[in-house]
Chain A
Amino acid sequence: MPSIRVPSALRSFTGGASDVDVAATTVRDALAELDRRHPGFAAKVLTDGAVKPFIRIFVGPDDIGGLAGLETQLAERDEVSIVPAIAGGREPGDA
């Protein structure tokens, strides 16, 4: 079954899970399935049914933007990666 790799910034929505198996045939269905099990997840990734501009989704090494977008078909062993923009290097309370 396909799996979704959850970025660390969103693991609070999946109980800390980094990889979640999903019974789905498209990327859109996979995100919907994840949202059913972890309500609120999809809203962090999608807006008005489209991927938010500061997030990219890949199936294996391939950007879904170069495939069929959210309708990209998933095979049994496909791995969906969600990659958000992040900054870095700062700790809470730093200047």
Chain B
Amino acid sequence: MTTLRATIVGAGGLGGPVALSLGAAGVELVIVDPDRVELSNLHRQIQFTSIELGQPKAPRLAGSVVARGGTARGVVARWEAGNADELGADADVVIDASDDPATKFAVADWAVASGRCYVVAAALRYGGNVMAGAPGVACYRCLFEEPVEVASCADAGVLGPVVGAIGGVASAVAHALARGERTLAGALLVFDDLRRAADPRIVRFAPRADCPACTRAPISPFATPVRVAEVH
């Protein structure tokens, strides 16, 4: 059986469920995060305990994956252009589980330029988005152009269980992409309010003609017809 590999950018509320579930499924992981565990994290970053306060998140989360029989390596760093090739080199899929808009674009841009599959997950208040990226389809920068937030969690907050749910979906989508499943490639899954409804709206979008990431992509999305039918 082929071993799947993934790089997870962010070891917090989203990265925790992604890492634990993919690791338990046998996916070999690189987990990247520059931060340390804080008391205010614990209500939603349930992979950590009070014993781990002050310790770097990435190796602690990698340790939890290994303790459950998985394979993982934690890297205390921020994903940047200068280290992306090293951190993502072996990955079948890269998952952005960060809380930083600039990092989301950096991960997506690198994946597009490298011809890799990727997932961008985000949560805010009671909902969130999961985008499934793959070579040959419109990219995250086609979708949102540039890293400017309309609202941030620092202003709006996020409900603890919501990040677990969004992280779980991101993990399932990433696992599918890594296995070569492309049903959701190029789709954005939108969860408006998980307190009221768990079903996402699944929308697709066309590549932007002036997208700087797609114009340099090894597999261009402009030759690929956009599928606009809703996926169920």
Contacts and interface: CB of A to CB of B under 8 A. Distances in A.
Contacts of B223: none
B155 A89 contact: no
A7 B150 CA distance: 11
Chain A contact residues: helix, strand, loop or mixed: loop
B14 interface: yes
B222 to A, nearest CB: 13
Interface stretch (B68-76, B176-184, B196-204): B196-204
Interface residues of B, number: 60
Contacts of A58: 201, 203, 205
Interface string A61-95: 11101100000000000000101111111111111
Given A61-B228, A92-B157, A86 B122 contact: yes
Nearest to A58: B203
A65 B203 contact: no
Given A54-B149, A66-B206, A90 B125 contact: no
Nearest to B143: A56
B152 interface: yes
A88 B35 contact: no
A62 B227 CA distance: 9
Interface residues of A, number: 33
A52 B144 CA distance: 9
Contacts of A9: 124-125, 150-151, 156
B226 A90 contact: no
6 contacts: A10-B151, A18-B193, A61-B230, A87-B101, A88-B13, A89-B12
Given A88-B122, A93-B40, 13 more contacts: A5-B192, A60-B230, A62-B203, A65-B208, A66-B206, A66-B226, A81-B203, A85-B149, A86-B123, A87-B104, A91-B158, A92-B157, A95-B36
Interface of A: 5, 7-10, 18, 44, 52-56, 58, 60-63, 65-66, 81, 83-95
